């Protein structure tokens, strides 16, 4: 998990070969509460860094998930549509949202490391 990077909006991204796995952090799912619905992007959709990529709805709120990097949606986790609770159970594992083929790998450099993200979380509490 050392290759996982984070955004200030609580998305994570982890490289798997030339494709990035994207989802929300454990902190984000804990803030949302029980996830009841997820709207995933369409396969092949081109995302720019910061674009709304998905929507998560919980018993408390609806929240956007933003693209941490630019690229094309190569795969979506369609299992989440039937079992959105996987986001609560294993947000950084089976609760991933999409896989993105990066168009600009240099954008990864602007994201937080796991240690930086933990420090950021500590600073907002």
Q: Which pLDDT score, from 0 to 100, does residue 84 have?
A: 97
Three-class SS string for the chain?
Answer: CCCCEECCCCEEEEEECCEEEEEECHHHHHHHCCEEEEECCCCCCEECCCCEEEEEEECCCEEEEECCCCEEEEEECCHHHHCCCHHHHCCCCCCCCEEEEECCHHHHHHCECHHHHHHHHHHCC
Q: Does any domain span residue 114?
A: yes
Q: Does any domain span residue 22?
A: yes
The residue among 40, 33, 64, 63 whose CA lies nearest residue 51 is: 64
Q: Does any domain span residue 125?
A: no
Q: Which pLDDT score, from 0 to 100, does residue 76 have?
A: 98
Domain span at residue 26 reads 5-120
- The total of structural domains in the chain comes to 1
Q: Does any domain span residue 75?
A: yes
Q: Does any domain span residue 99?
A: yes
Q: CATH number, domain at 47? A: 2.40.50.100
Q: Does any domain span residue 34?
A: yes
Q: Does any domain span residue 13?
A: yes
Q: Which pLDDT score, from 0 to 100, does residue 44 have?
A: 97
pLDDT tens-digit profile, the chain (125 residues): 448 999 999 999 999 988 999 999 999 999 999 999 999 999 999 999 999 999 999 999 999 999 999 999 999 999 999 999 999 999 999 999 999 999 999 999 999 999 999 999 999 97
Q: Does any domain span residue 41?
A: yes
Q: Which pLDDT score, from 0 to 100, does residue 18 have?
A: 86
- Is the distance from CB of 80 to CB of 40 less than 8 angstroms? yes
């Amino acid at each position: 998990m050392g290759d996982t990077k984070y955004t200030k909006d609580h998305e994570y991204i982890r490289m798997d070969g030339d494709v990035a796995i994207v989802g929300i952090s454990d902190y984000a799912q804990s803030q949302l509460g029980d996830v009841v619905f997820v709207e995933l992007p369409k396969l092949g959709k081109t995302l720019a860094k910061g674009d709304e990529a998905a929507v998560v709805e919980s018993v408390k709120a609806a929240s956007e998930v933003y693209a941490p990097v630019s690229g094309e949606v190569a795969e979506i986790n369609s299992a989440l549509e039937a079992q959105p609770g996987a986001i609560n159970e294993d947000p950084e594992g089976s609760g991933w949202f999409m896989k993105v083929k990066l168009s600009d790998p240099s954008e990864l450099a602007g994201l937080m490391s796991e240690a930086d993200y933990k420090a950021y979380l500590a600073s907002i509490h």
